[in-house]
Amino acid sequence: EPEVTQTPSHQVTQMGQEVILRCVPISNHLYFYWYRQILGQKVEFLVSFYNNEISEKSEIFDDQFSVERPDGSNFTLKIRSTKLEDSAMYFCASSESEVLSYEQYFGPGTRLTVT
Amino acid sequence: AQSVAQPEDQVNVAEGNPLTVKCTYSVSGNPYLFWYVQYPNRGLQFLLKYITGDNLVKGSYGFEAEFNKSQTSFHLKKPSALVSDSALYFCAVRDIYNFNKFYFGSGTKLNVKP
């Protein structure tokens, strides 16, 4: 069964540094998402992306965040200047359609630790 | 606003016994409800969904969920638990105004003991 993959599985960075989290969505999917889960808290929506542009973003997704689909397979989340509170598990997801009946498929996550 | 609540952080059950993982929802309009499971070091895996139709929804790995409109609940059930069912379970609701967004519950850790 096709899967969403994410790299790296764990990233440690110093405060103020830039990080790029990478995702390879399922190949025929057109809608892409990032979520995050701070330890012990809920999974929170960050952003959705379709047709090379952001279609929706949450209040968490401020100017330090950006997303990109640099080629036909990768989908990236960049955090420009990391803060301690960015430490979380980041999940990428993809979906074939935005139609209600279509579920999102999630990757295994990247654990980001900001020191 | 759409939201789901999972009132139990942890559920313990013996192998072979029935299990229930609870979820209640709060939505304006018709709810579109999902259950996902997360095994260690894996992503969230889709289990089942309720969009419309029968209140009892069957999903992967023998799981089912019952949609109850009067109680605004969508509890996950399995008649006979396996040790391998031990994982973190998330209930989610899809935003009816923006289908791209899912709102997740806080998760329930299911422990199935042999």
- pLDDT tens digits for B97-108? 777 788 899 999
Query: Which residue type occupies A104?
Result: Q
In which element (H, E) is residue A91 found?
Answer: strand A88-95
Contact (CB<8Å) A4/B43: yes
Cα separation of B93 and A48, whole Å?
A: 16
Q: Which of A48, A101, A105 has the CB atom closest to B100's CB atom?
A: A48
Q: What is the pLDDT of residues A100-115, one digit of tens each?
A: 667 889 998 999 999 9
Contact A88, A10 (CB under 8 A): no
Q: Which of B43, B98, B107 has the CB atom closest to A109's CB atom?
A: B43
Mean predicted confidence (pLDDT) in A82-97: 94
Mean predicted confidence (pLDDT) in B8-37: 94
Question: CA-CA distances (angstroms) from residue A92 to A75, B58, B83?
Answer: 8, 26, 28
Q: What is the pLDDT of residues A33-71, one digit of tens each?
A: 999 999 878 889 999 999 899 998 999 999 999 999 988
Put simply, the chain B residues between 45 and 84 with a CB less than 8 A from any chain A CB are: 45-46, 49, 51
Phi, psi torsion values for B84, nearest 5 degrees: -70, -10
Cα separation of A63 and A57, whole Å?
A: 11
Q: What is the largest CA-CA distance in chain B?
A: 44
pLDDT tier at B90, thresholds 50, 70, 90: very high
Contact B74, B65 (CB under 8 A): yes
Mean predicted confidence (pLDDT) in A9-37: 95
Contact (CB<8Å) B94/A100: yes
